[in-house]
Structure 1
Amino acid sequence: MSDSKLHLMSFAPVPDTKTTVHVVGLPDSLRDALFTLMPPRKEGGYLNTKVLKDDLRCWLDRAVELNPVRPNVHTDSWLIALAPIDLAKLCNVIAVWISSRKDIDTQSPAYCKVMGMLHPETFEEAVHGEETCLFSGDGRPTGRLTFPAFSAQVADAIADIPLELANGMVENFSRVSRGNGNVYELISDIHWHKEDPWAFALRFHVETLPVGRKARLNMDVAVRRFIGKPWQDDPFLKHDVNAYVRTEGGTLRVVPYGYDKQKRDLAWDPAALANYEFARGTGLPAVREYLEDMGRYARDGSQPQILSPYAMTASWASKPSVASGASVIDKAMFFEAVAARLKDIAEPVGALDSLQLTHLKASIEEPRQADWDKDPVGARARQEAWGRANRARLARCTGRDRAVFQLIGNQDDARLLGMARAEISRFLGGEGAVDGFEVKIDNIPANDLLNRMENTGDSQAKIRWRKVAAALPEATDPTACIVVLPGAESYKPKGKDDGGDPKRALRIAFAKTGRLTQFIEPEDSKDGPEIRARVAVRDLMRQLGFVPEPARNSRGIDTSIPAIGLKVYNSGNGKARASFPYCVRQDMRSGAVTVYCPLLPDGSLPYWRALIEFARLSGSEGFPDSCKRANGMALKRMLHGIVRATGDRPELLLVNSYGRIRQRDWWPGISDSGLESGPLSYGPTGYEEPLDLAGSKLRILRIRSGLNGEVPDWFTDEVAAGGADDGTVPNRRDKQGLFKMDGYFLALAPRPGDAQYKWSARGSKYDSPTAAFCEKTINEYCLLSPGGEAEALASVKYAEALRGCMVQLYKNDMRVNLPAPLHLAEQVEEYIWDWELTGRR
């Protein structure tokens, strides 16, 4: 309803908030001994203590920061914590960290010297306490310490004190002590549904606003599902499991377990196990013993209590009966209870009124069933016009007069492949040559191309690439394939292998022969075969660069303005490092979608050709090394070219600031601290200069998404009547729109019609643990280029409208998470192969 409001799950810290911190300095003698034992790679460089920082945050009570150390520089403020520091435990964590490093000679005199110094007496004179101010009078962070320290202070106000909710439930939260980042997590009491344990998780993290850089404490509510059933077969763990193990004071500390190649068996992480044994004075059961009785170890009162979070990568574990997601009702209950607890140090930011969103419509839309029922003759004419319009649009998008579609599967897949063929024909107005554009559809037997692989590593991928190259000739026309796979069950891990799902390898393999691919799994029970065929064909059109032509009357939005989505690609964790910038330019009127990247021939290609080229480039083992020339200076040159090419023609540049792009080696000028320092600059650190937009009509929008945690979650007003399942708490309203903030905008897309969205405002995980809940996330937009509020609003409305103008969205209520050019840029990653660190020659 128009009078309903949006409530952000965010707090404004009270200005001048102070806290007491406990500080340990690093004695000069120990510092010098550490530099002798583990000298930095570069002369004069810092001591590499990243892993130690994570270990201290995990194993010391409320350790929040470990400051960097340089040679010959006295460090009287090294380790900072919000609780008194146990010096014996500190010495043990340091000793375990050193001993676990593979580059350390444990027989060397340098090692023996450091170990001989690791006792509490070494640090006693370096310990002191002090009161520090976390926020200035205007609410800005006073320094780097603010981010972890205030989150930890908030966690202290909630942990171990019963929290009463509006539905009458009382939860007791425990700290989760882990090493990564500035996010602090609390876990509720453990609940059970059948044999499956689960809990609510509260996560707190301090972020800054894009304008003014005032601090905000964001709160997330999630559901943690844990594995309760014993494993059925001998599990091969490709990924370590970060188990929560309850320790002193009820704190849950993360102790990973996985496959130990040296022991050739499942084992606890040696360093984490050593720290646990020191803290508890006792060990943990063998991993196999634990896995055989996971339900018992998950129970309250178990000694020890061990909880293994469920993840989709845990293919060896039974899927829990508890569904994912906390509902809007749950989020509202927890936020309101936490707000009452934090009233002395933080205040809710308040409720927001919305502005109306604008939705783009295609110039010609497919007739609906109601149209066929009312006027079959008119509907058929519209259907034919729609197909021919799509055909003409595809010709403009590809720049060719012919497109080939290949349907790949086995005999058992004939029905599904037939549906895909009919969908292609229906979407493009038939097969053959019509209006100067030819559509050709072929069936190709899969033979053994789709068989499982021994594993998904580089060596097996290369074997599959060669097999596909031998079976398929090089495609010369735009060629797109629908591939029906045997199904996920065929690719499940067997014995000691880690699963042989060939999708990623096949996508690269087909692209190396000039083919785009979209996969269908026949046993998927969520949607019927007709829907799956339709979705697959639509997504294949997206890969070909098809963008629907918008209606001329677009409710005040000027769709003649091209939009550009800018991204820095970064390879996955544990992979050979490969980073490079690229952007996707989308011209809604002409239909052209172009990718610009310094790695591409001539610097740019149509979208469909760029996908194929990225697969070919990344399919070479030398790819990570070739990316080194596409660095932050290449991004700077790309930005300069965009500004120069725009001139006096309006264009919109969309920048997703999440990830590497805002780091010092790329574009630090778009970070909050970079924006605070003055006019918009571009270039990596040391090469920054103001971005001269004088006379240019280029508008630049920075986007941060709630998907990445930097933008707060939300809930809505209560409904006056009605309630959740048992009526103890009210239902919540639906909400969408733009929200004007102080110098920036927030946007919330309409709720889709899926059940997980619909019931999120009407149910609670307490009453319906098997119900999945989901909500749309908020996007934050900040205009970086010169312009007033009216200009910013027009740009934001256009960006949000682009979320709905995508060919794969076959329902009117569907939206992608980012504006179309950024979404297309994100999808490019499907065609980039990440090389393993160990797989390179």
Structure 2
Amino acid sequence: MYHTIRVTAYEPDPLHGPWREEMKVLRLGEKLHTELTKMQAEAHTGAVRPDRLPVRRLNSLLQAMAPGVLATGRNAGTDGRLPWLYAREAVPREVLGPVIGTWSAGLSPDEDDTEGADLETRIRSGDPAEAVQLPQWEAESIDLTETVTSAGGTAEPAARLYSLLPEWVAFRLAARTFHTGSMVLHFRVESSGNAARLVSWPPQRYERRGQTWYYSACLNITVHTVPFAPRFRVHVSTQVRRWATRLDVPPYQLGGATVLLDVPLPWPGGPDRGHRLMANTLGYDRRLKELAWRRHSPAPLMPELDVVGNYPQPAELFARPEHWINGSGDVAAGIVYHPSIGPHEVGPGLMPQERAALDAWVEEGLRPMLTRVPDLTRVTRRNTPSLLPAGRDREVRDTQLVLQRRAALARALNGRLLEVDVYWQSPETRAALLTELPKLIGLPPGERVGAADGDTWEWRCEGIGIRVRLQAAGPLADAMPISRDRKRPKADRLAEAVEERCRLVADRKGMCSEETGLVITEIADKDRFAAVPDSDPKHALRIAWARQGRLSQFMNLPDGDEGGLEHRAKWTWLDAFRQLGAIAPPAHRVGAGIPGDLQYVALWLIQRTRKGPMRRAVRQLVAVRIRPGDGPGDIEGWDAERTEWVSYPKLLLLLSQAEEPAEKSAAGCSDDAAADRHGPRTTPRSGMEHHWQRDTERQIRALLFQLRDRPTLLLADAGNLRQCWPALRNGELERDMLGFGTESAQRHTLYGDDLRVVLVRDSNARGEVPEWYAHDTKGKVGFAEGVWGTPEVESRVFASTASKPHTVAKLPKGLMKLAPTAQGRTAPGKTAWNPGQLEITVLCCLSEKALVDSGREGDVPDRPAEWATLAHQLRYHDDYPPLARPLPLHLARLAGQYVLPVARTKEGRKPPSTP
């Protein structure tokens, strides 16, 4: 058993002091910014923000083509006085001029516009005598460890370090080579917003099935904060980046693939030659009806800068990706692989030993400015709750599990008959569902009833009654016909198709019992509907059944694997039980410090952008409560409109009715709504955004006052909730305090004498929580599960790690994919997966100070480690592999499957039935 884990995170070394670097800084200047903004406004008269320059493409171009440029400053497109470019040395005017000039040509509304053409000529020339001159570089000494400490004790880096420091670290590491086995890897830098990546280049090769497959090592570098930590951190995560050698999809199905260009600099001399890869996006343009460079890609500007180079055209790159990854002349291009474009013989992920080797290489390269974050040690040996023993007697355990499921279902039904309609397409699925149901809950053989008017089966046992009616799905599971009228919004065209499917379901309802509570529908995999966007009927059927007051579950068509079919049938029923509320957390094994009548409450923000399943933006706060041992209604949801707790199934049906006016929900629902995820509290984008934020906070406060009747553990995912509750940002947190709106934070006991608040956070697709591996004093590395922390008694931040998945249980921990040995030639084909770390922050508990402040000096104070252990144990359940989050949060998040706002059609629609 490992007793220590190591996280791949680094922090400023206090023994080194400030880390100062001499840089060159460039600002656009007010005059040039004004002229460029004027051109932008004239070229795009309908632009929402004519005062904002579209500098993203220019930034990408400069980072790739201007030697020495490190990073770009934020908001330079809105204010010419702000720093725009950071470089290790001034970029020559003969280099900067053509790059800015080529970009500015795209701002001109007309080729005959003499003013725009004249500006382009002047920028390109760089002539000091011209009226508008290029900006001058300024020298500046920048501290790459510049920090401000919040009132709660959280160290926050200067805002510009979120983009600047990852670039500096990446170039520092790229200057070195990584030796692994007999291989030597060279790295290039890829810029990505507030992050930087190191990509080994050229890619490595793996011969398999008569074809060459390409892959690289990839290191993601980001800057983050940790609640109450005295220093900010640099996270370095590792992965395998796979490259496409063929695309098994038609061009019109390519939504947006990342393409990295390896191009020579058109200008001699300067630093960083050969260290950059230029990021672009390749996708199908439905307006042009052809493949094109998309999303501010700088690739279209390259021929303007280098008329000699041979650069790939989108259609050619799509047709011959392997040709371009090997290079044509001095230019090479790699399409980053995604599962949607076909199979790949190289497996994702790295095993612990290889990750540890890369981590050691990074640590060496960052000395002495940055030092490794201290290792974490176990805080408890009680890693799991009271789960059924996984001993040798599997039959006994299975029997106990069956009884446990049946008792949970009986509590959820509370004497009601459960009626299930199954709409099937294949006899195999029909048979599997009928077989797995009685096995899961230990029912006697079912009785076939009502053969004259359908295929119906019934089971009754110990207070449970289940009736299953089976019918052919027919046109219910067909692809939805979507109007091709491009002049109408996608949401409106989709809404019409949804309403038509709802009418079809309503017609079928006449064949079903009025008491049916659940519908299982067999449909094809979503990939089968990819040819026609929005034609997948799954969400429409969920809406249709919810309007009839029924929950819904789906199962895909068989894939030829009989064992897999049984497994999927089992999980279909388990997911159905979960929707019925027939699930409860096992009894914890934390200790006497946890109140016996504790209730769990989880908050989750459901968000849908205009790219969501219904093409409408909406946000919905969901609250789920679990009161273990309270009998029927153990799991409930908060009905904000009626201000009452309702059963979990009823919550799901109510959420299916949730709608916001488009003008309200659209505010702040863009894809970059969480861009400022660590910095100080910012002003909302608009008055509507501000109103929504305040309204959500009022809902949370009202909810807290409804929970004062008993001890409560409030669980929230900080990465999910901080958009509507800004006080959950790391820089705003204070121990045992809760803040709302612009008011000062107050002690949490004002919201409940026995309230505790625990925040969890995962990597959130941005590396917010670092990767990890276990190690010991003998140099061995591997996996470990448990709760981990620092030696400080008053520490509030812990790490939760779960057991390794069974899919990698048999893989050797020392598997080397970047440098396969003679004994492991097939190692690159293996899939490696490491359990993620869940960060647990005990924000509010009854600490000694909290008790004194609330006049309860004589009470025994809480131990934060015990509440972190409780949150960790809530990730475990006998029926599931360890959950990504505690069970209450898991249930709140899955409730979002029913938040499917539909645009109103011209005819309107029938209001949904009251569940």
Q: 1:199 aligned to 2:216?
A: yes
Give the C-alpha shift of residue 233 in structure 1. Answer: 6.2
Q: Which deviates the most, 287-296 or 690-699?
A: 690-699
Q: How does 1:338-737 map to 2 (within 5 A)?
A: 338-355=362-379, 356-361=381-386, 370=393, 372=395, 385-386=403-404, 388-395=406-413, 401-412=416-427, 413-423=429-439, 426=442, 431-432=458-459, 434=461, 436-453=463-480, 458=491, 459-460=493-494, 461-462=497-498, 463-472=500-509, 477=515, 479-487=517-525, 491=528, 493-494=530-531, 497-498=532-533, 500-521=535-556, 522-523=558-559, 525=561, 527-548=563-584, 550-551=586-587, 556=592, 558=595, 560-572=597-609, 574=611, 576-590=616-630, 591-596=633-638, 598=640, 600-602=641-643, 604-617=645-658, 624=665, 631-647=692-708, 649-659=710-720, 661-663=721-723, 666-675=724-733, 680-684=737-741, 686=742, 690=746, 692-694=748-750, 696-708=753-765, 709-717=767-775, 732-737=781-786
Distance 2:359 2:620 in 1: 40
Displacement of 1:11 in angstroms is 1.0
| Kept after mapping to 2: 8 A contact 1:100/1:271 | no
Q: Distance in 1 between matches of 2:902 and 2:103?
A: 28
Residues 107 and 523 of structure 1: is their aligned pair in 2 closer, same or farther, counting only changes over 3 Å? same
Cα shift at 1:757: 4.9
Residue of structure 1 equivalent to 2:678: none
Aligned residues: 799
Q: Does 1:761 align with 2:776?
A: no
Shift of 1:469: 3.4
Cα distance, 1:593 vs structure 2: 2.0
2:244 corresponds in structure 1 to 227
Q: Answer whether contact 1:226 1:307 (CA < 8 A) is retained.
A: yes
Q: Give the one of 272, 292, 317 matched to 1:290.
A: 317
Matched, 1:80 2:141: no
How has the CA–CA distance of structure 1 residues 751 and 44 changed in structure 2, closer, same or farther, with 3 Å as cutoff?
A: closer
Residue 126 in 1 paired to residue 152 in 2?
no
- Native 8 Å contact 1:619 1:833 kept in 2: no
CA change 1:149–1:240 in 2 (3 A) is same
Contact 1:96/1:271 (8 A) holds in 2:
no
Task: Name the residue aligned to 1:173.
Answer: 187
**Partner residue in 2 for 1:326:** 350
1:240 to 1:831, Cα distance in 2 relative to 1, 3 A: same
Give the deviation of 1:609 after TM superposition. Answer: 1.9
| 1:731/1:761 contact within 8 Å kept | no
Residue deviations 1:563-599, cap 9 Å, x none?
121122222474543223222222222252222364x
1:163 aligns with 2:204: no
**Does the aligned pair in 1 maintain the 2:758–2:843 contact within 8 Å?**
yes
2:171 counterpart letter in structure 1? D
Provide the secondary structure at the position in 1 that maps to 2:518. strand
Change (3 A) 1:74 1:421: closer
Between 770-779 and 27-36, report the one with greater CA deviation.
27-36
Match status 1:218 vs 2:287 = no
1:823 matches 2:890: yes
Alpha-carbon contact 2:99-2:305 (below 8 Å) kept: no
In the TM superposition, residue 205 of structure 1 has moved relative to its aligned partner by 0.9
1:186 is matched with which residue?
199
TM-score of the aligned structures, taking structure 1 as reference length: 0.84
Moved more, 59-68 or 9-18: 59-68
Q: 1:193-220 CA deviation, whole Å, 9 max, x = no partner?
A: 2221111101111111210452111110
Which segment is superposed worse, 785-794 or 86-95? 86-95
The correspondence of residues 84-123 of structure 1 with structure 2, limited to 5 A, is 84-85=90-91, 87=93, 90=96, 115=120, 118-119=123-124, 120-121=126-127, 122=132
- Alpha-carbon spacing, 1:478–1:775, altered in 2? closer, same or farther (3 Å): farther
Question: Could you say if the C-alpha distance between residues 718 and 640 of structure 1 is closer, same or farther in structure 2, counting changes exceeding 3 Å?
Answer: closer
Identify which range, 134-143 or 236-245, moves more after superposition.
Answer: 134-143
- Secondary structure (helix, strand or coil) at the match of 2:781 reads coil
For residue 549 of structure 1, report the CA deviation from its aligned partner.
Answer: 6.0
> What code does the residue aligned with 2:288 have?
K
Bigger shift: residues 108-117 or 194-203: 108-117
What is the distance in 2 between the residues matched to 1:479 and 1:622? 35
Q: Equivalents in 2 of 1:383, 1:12: separation in Å?
A: 46
Shift of 1:114: 5.5
Change (3 A) 1:467 1:341: same
Check 1:476–1:100 CA distance in 2 against 1; reply closer, same or farther (3 A cut): farther
| In structure 2, distance between residues paired with 1:21 and 1:486 | 57
Deviation at 1:300, TM superposition (A): 5.5
For residues 44-55 of structure 1, what are the structure 2 equivalents within 5 Å? 47=52, 51=56, 55=60
**Distance change (3 Å), C-alpha of 1:572 and 1:328:** farther
**Aligned match of 1:796:** 868
Deviation, 1:237, is: 2.8
8 A Cα contact 1:354 1:738, kept in partner: yes
Deviation at 1:108, TM superposition (A): 6.6
Alignment pair present for 1:276 and 2:302: yes
The alpha carbon displacement at 1:136 in A equals 4.5
Kept after mapping to 1: 8 A contact 2:872/2:886:
yes
Deviation at 1:383, TM superposition (A): 7.4
Partner of 1:727: none
Distance 1:445 1:550 in 2: 38
CA apart distance, 1:127:
1.3
Separation in 2, partners of 1:611, 1:790: 35
Q: Normalising by structure 2, what TM-score?
A: 0.78
Does residue 784 of the first structure (1) align with residue 825 of the second (2)? no
Structure 2, unaligned runs of 5 or more: 150-154, 265-272, 447-457, 484-489, 670-687, 821-826, 848-860, 909-915
**Is 467-476 or 511-520 further displaced after alignment?**
467-476
Give per-residue Cα distances to partners, 1:91-142, cap 9 Å, x unaligned.
Answer: 566566666579x677778756764663445455531121111224899455
| C-alpha distance 360-181 of structure 1, shift in aligned 2 (>3 A) | same
Question: Which SS does the other structure have where 1:547 is aligned?
Answer: coil
Q: Give the 3 Å change call, closer, same or farther, for CA 517–30 of structure 1 in structure 2.
A: same
The share of aligned pairs that are identical, in percent, is 18
Q: Within the alignment, does 1:810 sit opposite 2:867 as a pair?
A: no
The answer for the alignment partner of 1:725 in structure 2 is none
CA contact (8 A) 1:240 1:259 kept: yes
- Superposition deviation, residue 425 in structure 1: 5.4
How far apart, in 1, do the equivalents of 2:178 and 2:406 lie? 61
Secondary structure at 1:769's aligned position in 2? helix
CA 1:838/1:436 → structure 2, altered by over 3 Å: closer, same or farther? closer
Secondary structure of 2:716's aligned partner: strand
Q: Among 265, 270, 273, which residue is 2:290 paired with?
A: 265
**Equivalent in the alignment of 2:75:** 68
Bigger drift between 126-135 and 667-676 goes to 667-676
Q: 1:225 to 1:432 in 2, by over 3 A?
A: same
Deviation at 1:620, TM superposition (A): 9.3
Give the drift of 1:239.
1.1
Give the partner amino acid of 1:608.
P
Aligned equivalent of 1:750: 802
The answer as to whether partners of 1:260 and 1:266 remain within 8 angstroms in 2 is yes
Q: Is the 8 A contact 1:803 1:817 kept in 2?
A: yes
> How far 1:6 sits from its partner (Å)?
0.7
Question: Structure 1: how far apart are the matches of 2:194 and 2:562?
Answer: 36
Structure 2 counterpart SS, 1:793 = helix
1:28-80: per-residue Cα shift (whole Å, max 9, x none)? Answer: 22233345455799999973557467546754554423243698x77163333
1:135 pairs with one of 121, 145, 149: 145
Shift of 1:536: 1.4
Does the aligned pair in 1 maintain the 2:727–2:738 contact within 8 Å?
yes
Change (3 A) 1:516 1:486: same
1:68 partner amino acid: N
Q: 1:437: how far off?
A: 4.8
Pair 99,439 (structure 1): closer, same or farther in 2 beyond 3 Å: farther
RMSD over aligned CA atoms reads 4.0
Task: Say which SS state the counterpart of residue 297 (structure 1) adopts.
Answer: helix
